[in-house]
Amino acid sequence: MLRALTITDFVIVDRVELEFGAGFTTLTGETGAGKSILIDALAIVLGERGDAAVVRQGADKAEISAEFDIAKMLPLKHWLADHDLAGDDDVYLVRRIIDSGGRSRAFINGRSATATQLREAGEHLVDIHGQHEHQSLLRSAAQRGLLDAYAGLEDAAAVVADAWRAWRELRGQLAALETNAAAYAREREELEWQVRELEQLKFSPDEWQALNAEHARLAHAQSLIEGAQYAMDTLSEGDNSSVTLLSAVASKLNHLREFDARLKDIIDLVGSAQAQAQEAVYMLRDYQLRLDIDPQRFKETEQRLDAVHASARKFRVTPETIPDALTKAQARLAQLGGSLDVEALRQRANDAHGAFLEAARKLSAGRKKAAKKLAEKVTAAMQTLAMAGGTFEIALNPLAEGSSSGLEQIEFLVSAHKGIEPRPLAKVASGGELSRISLSIQTVASEIAQVPTLIFDEVDAGIGGRVAEIVGQMLKKLGMQHQVMCVTHLPQVAASADHQWQVTKAAANGKVASRVNILDSAERIEEIARMLGGVKITETTRQHAAEMLGAKT
């Protein structure tokens, strides 16, 4: 639910910081004080379109931020995690900035976000009912979701969606197979030939490295033997070999050592060089003995290299990637092998379609039963809200092939007054009627509503007296299960609230600004008295206000 809202330089609001609690809260005040502006600000931070016109005159930017408690909102937490927008486990922080040029920036839990992401997250958090676009009940998907939730059919709807996707996938595979059967056959034949050729080659990357090394050694065997002999002659076996010369140097220096002890380190180095040169001679001799000029083995390595290069050219790959080419060909062949049986695939598609129809028909039966019950309850609620004779219906419009949501499209139809043909809820013209219809639906479906915060604007349009009191009671009841806020001009509605905020407008430094005051008991009496009595407030009016609050609290 909404915990806090901060608004800065928005329309006529310079700065307002609000903290919210549970239950039913009303916003009251004179016309034009800015009550609906607070709702407009909340709508914008939830993704509603905003432009430069919302920036307070003389300011560089408007900024709105909100904090929500999402401890019990697992779907929203999953959505945030999926979009890499998660913050603290139980908190959702959102901020939106609109500058005087109309440019907008948004942040969710401190990370940059788009307006679309604000809207998607906002659909989990708040429903605003009234003359606003941010109303989930006007969307077909939301109407279907509400009916399914009311009927306890969410799991059944998920089964239908899965069955639909499985059938559509198999149907697509079948269509592709039937269209491309000849091409698949040719591809399979070519792949079989490729796999057969490459498997016969029995080639691996390790062999490629070893083969090249062996071929290079055999190709230069004579040069290697001659080079080893030259090195041995130079180091040890020639007349002026390195070992002989180093030995002479060491002997000469040893004779001179008695005259200067500093020669010791040099003599050690010369001795070490002599020993290492002699060790190199031993290793060269062993290396030379192991070298072998083998024309037959050289011929075999050349033939193997030629075979590998020929295969690489044939399949247009490099020698090193021949094993990868074989693996890909085998995988594609296996895929074709599993899909080339047209009749088997057709049977699987038919079975999947049958499973979808069976699940969808069960879902349709549940929806039909629940639609009748929900429509009756909402119609009954409408009779108490100045819509006597009005009706609420839920149409289940058949779909030729069905869809992922079932065999029908759900559509809410409303007739606000007797004798008027029911029309889609989205086409109801009056904002007040739409709000009251939404209130009826939300009250009936409050047990299963998923959105924790409900806001009603203009629910009091065109009503008063007993109906206004009923509206207040309905909102109070709704506030027992949801966080409910309502902008109202009716004292009966305001008196029913758990909390009452007064919005006022005053001039300061030549500019008009809105203020929000959280009213205590005495202040509520004064405000409701103002709503009852207009300009002149009498003691009788105050007593009437106190009685109303006493009856409602």
Q: Per mean pLDDT, which range of 119-133, 191-205, 283-297, 402-416 is the poorest?
A: 283-297
Helix, strand, coil in percent for the chain, rounding step 5: 55, 20, 25
Is residue 441 within 8 A of residue 432, CB to CB? The reply is: no
- Which token pair is 250? 């060491």
Q: In which band, very low, low, confident or very high, does the pLDDT at 551 lie, cut at 50, 70 and 90?
A: low
| Each residue's pLDDT tens digit, 146-171 | 899 889 898 999 999 999 999 999 99
Q: In which band, very low, low, confident or very high, does the pLDDT at 430 lie, cut at 50, 70 and 90?
A: low
pLDDT at 467: 80
Q: Per mean pLDDT, which range of 93-102, 258-267, 523-532 is the poorest?
A: 258-267
pLDDT at 447: 59
Q: Find, among 483, 447, 442, the residue nearest to 459 by Cα.
A: 442
pLDDT at 469: 87
Q: In which band, very low, low, confident or very high, does the pLDDT at 267 lie, cut at 50, 70 and 90?
A: confident
CA-based diameter of the chain, in Å? 136
Class for domain 1-125+498-514, per CATH? alpha beta
Is residue 194 within 8 A of residue 329, CB to CB? The reply is: yes
| Each residue's pLDDT tens digit, 396-412 | 999 988 999 999 999 99
- Which token pair is 501? 């905020």
pLDDT at 60: 93
pLDDT at 132: 46
Predicted structure pTM score: 0.58
pLDDT at 348: 92
How many Å apart are CA 379 and CA 390, to the nearest integer?
7
**What backbone phi and psi angles, to 5 degrees, belong to 451?**
-80, 125
Q: In which band, very low, low, confident or very high, does the pLDDT at 89 lie, cut at 50, 70 and 90?
A: confident
How many Å apart are CA 88 and CA 109, to the nearest integer?
8
| Residue 494 vs residue 322, higher pLDDT | 494
| Each residue's pLDDT tens digit, 450-465 | 789 988 876 666 677 7
pLDDT at 61: 94
pLDDT at 460: 66
Model confidence at 444: pLDDT above 70 = yes
Is residue 70 within 8 A of residue 76, CB to CB? The reply is: yes
Cα 110 to chain centroid, rounded: 16
| Each residue's pLDDT tens digit, 335-386 | 776 555 678 888 999 999 999 999 999 999 999 999 999 999 999 988 887 7
pLDDT at 30: 83
In eight-state DSSP terms, residue 23 is S
Q: Per mean pLDDT, which range of 27-41, 69-83, 227-241, 482-496 is the poorest?
A: 227-241
Strand order in the sheet with 13-19: 13-19, 2-10, 61-69, 91-99, 104-108, 111-113
- Per the DSSP assignment, residues forming a β-bridge with 68 are 2, 92
| Residue 276 vs residue 94, higher pLDDT | 94
Q: How many CB atoms lie within 10 A of CB 150?
A: 21
Top-ranked range on mean pLDDT: pick from 59-68, 243-252, 274-283, 425-434: 59-68
Cα 420 to chain centroid, rounded: 43
pLDDT at 190: 84
Is residue 9 within 8 A of residue 15, CB to CB? The reply is: yes
- The percentage of residues in the chain with a pLDDT greater than 70, rounded to a whole number, is 89
Mean pLDDT of the chain: 84
Q: In which band, very low, low, confident or very high, does the pLDDT at 133 lie, cut at 50, 70 and 90?
A: very low
Domain boundaries, the chain: 1-125+498-514, 186-338
Q: In which band, very low, low, confident or very high, does the pLDDT at 91 lie, cut at 50, 70 and 90?
A: very high
Model confidence at 88: pLDDT above 50 = yes
Q: What is the mean pLDDT of residues 280-288?
A: 79
| Chain length of the chain | 553
pLDDT at 134: 41
Strand order in the sheet with 24-28: 126-129, 453-457, 483-487, 24-28, 499-508, 511-518
